[in-house]
Chains A and B, each alone.
Chain A
Amino acid sequence: MSSLTARFGPGLGGTILLLVGLWLIGMVLAPNLMMLDFSLRPNLMPNQIGTEADRYTLANFIALFSDSVHRAIFFKTVWASALVTLTTLVVTYPLAFWLAKIATPRGMALALVALIIPFWINEVLRTLAWYILLAFNGPLNAVLLGLGIIAEPVRWFGDFGVLAGMVYAYILFMLFPIYNSISTLETAQIEAARNLGASTVRIHRRIVIPHAKAGIATGCVFTFMLAAGSYVAPALLGSPGSRWFTEIIYNWFFEGGNWNRGAAYALVLLVLCMLVVLAALRVFRVNLADVAK
């Protein structure tokens, strides 16, 4: 803070601090406090607001966990997000390693262009592309039928569609942290391990993964949070059996007209995400400063 005023002078430095403070209070803290307030009040008709019925209660939270369908969707969202994270990690890690240690500059440039250009397109449109690809009469089924791999078209929408759509949507958030941390590994260490007789699996287990731990943790945290908070992929690529918790929240706000219940559900999701982040940092023995790097 003192370096800020030292660099910009008290006037400009103070203004920057004030703006950041206003932003944090007005755009982050206040809405969340309002959500908390909403979540703790019952859903009342306008004429009842301010009357005796308008008092703090945990009923909205209790409702989530006593409704077996909502509870099931909540826990499913948790483990399905974990599955999305794991799948993205498994898909991304070899790619990140290849980019960081094996690819020629030309190969790397081509791969990065191929990966990044689709991300110039809006997430909704990218998900719509998957919607088309995975459709019952879509190209994927046509190709698989043509090759004789399947006898009749498969309904991809549902758990598989959501998984595929999310892995694709969040791959860069996993790729770049891991790529960054692997690229700081001295190549001679890999060669030394290989020279001492280590197999590829052991080189990754003992040398590369421990080194890239912070990057892997960062990528996993990003991906989990994005997946748990995702709306587009489950809405477009899901089926009634693969409903996401965000869809329930959406429904309470915009279809059920019960903002209080929706706010309670949203807060539960927020707390869950924070717990997962803290747990991941604990498990990987990484601190927040490493993740921020």
Chain B
Amino acid sequence: MSHSVDLIDIEMIFGQVRAVEKFSASVEGGEFFSILGPSGCGKTTVLRLVAGFIQPTAGRVLIGGKDVTGSGPHQRPTSMIFQSLALFPLMPVWENIVFGLEVRGIPKAERRKRAEELLDLIALPGFGDRMIHELSGGQKQRVAIARALAVEPQVLLLDEPLSALDLKLRQHMRAELRALQKRTGVTFIYITHDQSEALAMSDRVAVMSAGKLQQIATPRELYANPATSFVARFVGETNEFPGRVRGVSDGIAAVETRHGLLKGRAGPGLRAGDQAAVYVRPEAVSLETENDNRIEAEAERLEFEGAVAILHAKAQDGQAVLAAIAHRGLGQAPVSGGAIKLSFTPAEALVLANV
């Protein structure tokens, strides 16, 4: 598939603030691509750079292989859905939806027809003559999507559009957005600070922190093989055991920690003597004792969650350790206050250098 959006060494400086640093990414045509990061990490700036609302201080933006750096938001084949939706309250729904066509000089009868088609697409038939304030949150959401799709963009840019909705509606809209994206084949670039949203919907996710790109990967890869300590901590639950790397061999690093020597797969560029940490997911921690990495701990409490139970334990130095224990392993579950041995295999742990 062809590249839809290419960002090449993008840099954005506002006064003294470096909002985006050396950001490069290639988004494939028809891909659902998310940019995930905590608020203030520069993800919205990246989106606005793609839309053309702002121009990068350095670097280039390519859309469909064409260099669009320097052109404005009305000259790019992108369409944006704003966090606030930014629907036009003084126009009825149908005029909102086909505003982009009105701008292009398409006659009214044709616009009206197109509006009805789009209302069918977003499952709001017959809503054309309503005013925006008469719609519910989810309906407004869909009108905003229809308005953005009406101009047949190559790329749809979504700036946390679900953040104003309640949890239930948000989950519903997630599925709907994903289905709409597959149906229309339009490239989606989706901004969010909600990792579950990004992981659930996206083909690939770019994780950003403090203006820097941390990793671009599929949701699964991101979870299994975070490239940096930030990604390991930000995406999903994890246990972190800091220490110093004693040695690396055959891709396995041994780290001297306060809990003794722990081993895990070595992250990129790791060398002996580095300050690093061993990261292990709660579901990789078990109560079996034959694994290589063992931690003496004291059980604190057990939270039963159905398929798994979350064991909260405290290591000898007081560090909290989480273990997700599968249902079938619960027979041997420890009692609160009891001494336990937690363990995990080096293959399921990852050693990443501190940044």
Residues of chain A lying within 8 A (CB to CB) of residue B72: 194
**Interface members, chain B 71-103 (any A CB < 8 Å):** 72-74, 78-80, 82-84, 86-88, 90-91, 99-100, 102-103
Roughly how many angstroms separate A137 CA and B86 CA in the complex, as a whole number?
A: 55
B53 located at the interface, meaning its Cβ lies under 8 Å from any Cβ of chain A in the complex: yes
Extra contacts, 14 of them, besides A186-B86, A196-B99, A199-B74 (Cβ < 8 A), are A188-B84, A189-B86, A191-B53, A192-B87, A192-B88, A192-B147, A194-B72, A196-B100, A196-B103, A196-B147, A197-B74, A197-B104, A198-B74, A206-B88
Q: How far is the CB of B133 from chain A (nearest CB, A)?
A: 14
Chain A, Cβ-Cβ closest to B159: A188
Chain B, Cβ-Cβ closest to A193: B99
Roughly how many angstroms separate A71 CA and B262 CA in the complex, as a whole number?
A: 101
A-B contact pairs, 18 of them (CB 8 A): A188-B86, A189-B87, A189-B88, A191-B73, A191-B80, A191-B82, A192-B82, A194-B73, A194-B74, A195-B51, A195-B80, A196-B79, A197-B103, A198-B74, A198-B99, A198-B103, A206-B88, A207-B88
Roughly how many angstroms separate A184 CA and B100 CA in the complex, as a whole number?
A: 23
User: Which residues of A line the B interface, CB within 8 A?
Assistant: 186, 188-189, 191-199, 202, 206-207, 210-211
Roughly how many angstroms separate A197 CA and B75 CA in the complex, as a whole number?
A: 7
Q: How far is the CB of B104 from chain A (nearest CB, A)?
A: 6
Q: How far is the CB of A52 from chain B (nearest CB, A)?
A: 63
Roughly how many angstroms separate A192 CA and B51 CA in the complex, as a whole number?
A: 11
B287 located at the interface, meaning its Cβ lies under 8 Å from any Cβ of chain A in the complex: no
Interface centre among B78, B79, B88 (most CB of A within 10 A): B88
B210 located at the interface, meaning its Cβ lies under 8 Å from any Cβ of chain A in the complex: no
Chain A interface SS verdict (over half) = helix
Residues of chain A lying within 8 A (CB to CB) of residue B100: 196-197
Q: Would A210 and B90 count as touching, CB distance under 8 A? A: yes
Q: How far is the CB of B44 from chain A (nearest CB, A)?
A: 12
Residues of chain B lying within 8 A (CB to CB) of residue A186: 84, 86
Chain B interface SS verdict (over half) = loop
Interface centre among B73, B86, B104 (most CB of A within 10 A): B86
Roughly how many angstroms separate A210 CA and B95 CA in the complex, as a whole number?
A: 14
Chain A, Cβ-Cβ closest to B95: A206
Q: Which 10 pairs from chain A and chain B are nearest by CB?
A: A188-B86, A196-B100, A192-B86, A197-B103, A188-B82, A195-B73, A197-B74, A198-B103, A189-B86, A210-B90
Residues of chain A lying within 8 A (CB to CB) of residue B122: none
Q: Would B90 and A211 count as touching, CB distance under 8 A? A: yes
* A195/B90 contact (C-beta < 8 A), A186-B84, A188-B84, A202-B103 known: no
User: CB-defined interface of B130-157 with A at 8 Å, one 1/0 digit per residue?
Assistant: 0000000000000000010001000000
Residues of chain A lying within 8 A (CB to CB) of residue B91: 206
Chain B, Cβ-Cβ closest to A207: B88
Q: How far is the CB of A211 from chain B (nearest CB, A)?
A: 7
Roughly how many angstroms separate A194 CA and B86 CA in the complex, as a whole number?
A: 12
Residues of chain B lying within 8 A (CB to CB) of residue A207: 88
Chain A, Cβ-Cβ closest to B99: A196
Q: How far is the CB of A217 from chain B (nearest CB, A)?
A: 15
Q: How far is the CB of B11 from chain A (nearest CB, A)?
A: 22
Roughly how many angstroms separate A261 CA and B139 CA in the complex, as a whole number?
A: 64
Residues of chain B lying within 8 A (CB to CB) of residue A189: 86-88
Residues of chain A lying within 8 A (CB to CB) of residue B147: 192, 196
Roughly how many angstroms separate A210 CA and B88 CA in the complex, as a whole number?
A: 10
Residues of chain A lying within 8 A (CB to CB) of residue B74: 194-199
Chain B, Cβ-Cβ closest to A188: B86
Roughly how many angstroms separate A198 CA and B74 CA in the complex, as a whole number?
A: 7
Roughly how many angstroms separate A195 CA and B74 CA in the complex, as a whole number?
A: 5
Chain B, Cβ-Cβ closest to A202: B103
Roughly how many angstroms separate A56 CA and B100 CA in the complex, as a whole number?
A: 65
Roughly how many angstroms separate A189 CA and B147 CA in the complex, as a whole number?
A: 13
Roughly how many angstroms separate A97 CA and B100 CA in the complex, as a whole number?
A: 23
Roughly how many angstroms separate A193 CA and B87 CA in the complex, as a whole number?
A: 9
Q: How far is the CB of B63 from chain A (nearest CB, A)?
A: 14
Q: How far is the CB of B224 from chain A (nearest CB, A)?
A: 37
Residues of chain B lying within 8 A (CB to CB) of residue A191: 53, 73, 80, 82, 86
Residues of chain B lying within 8 A (CB to CB) of residue A202: 103
Q: How far is the CB of A88 from chain B (nearest CB, A)?
A: 25
Residues of chain A lying within 8 A (CB to CB) of residue B151: 196-197
Q: How far is the CB of B240 from chain A (nearest CB, A)?
A: 39
Q: How far is the CB of A289 from chain B (nearest CB, A)?
A: 18
Residues of chain B lying within 8 A (CB to CB) of residue A198: 74, 99, 103
Residues of chain B lying within 8 A (CB to CB) of residue A195: 51, 53, 73-74, 78-80
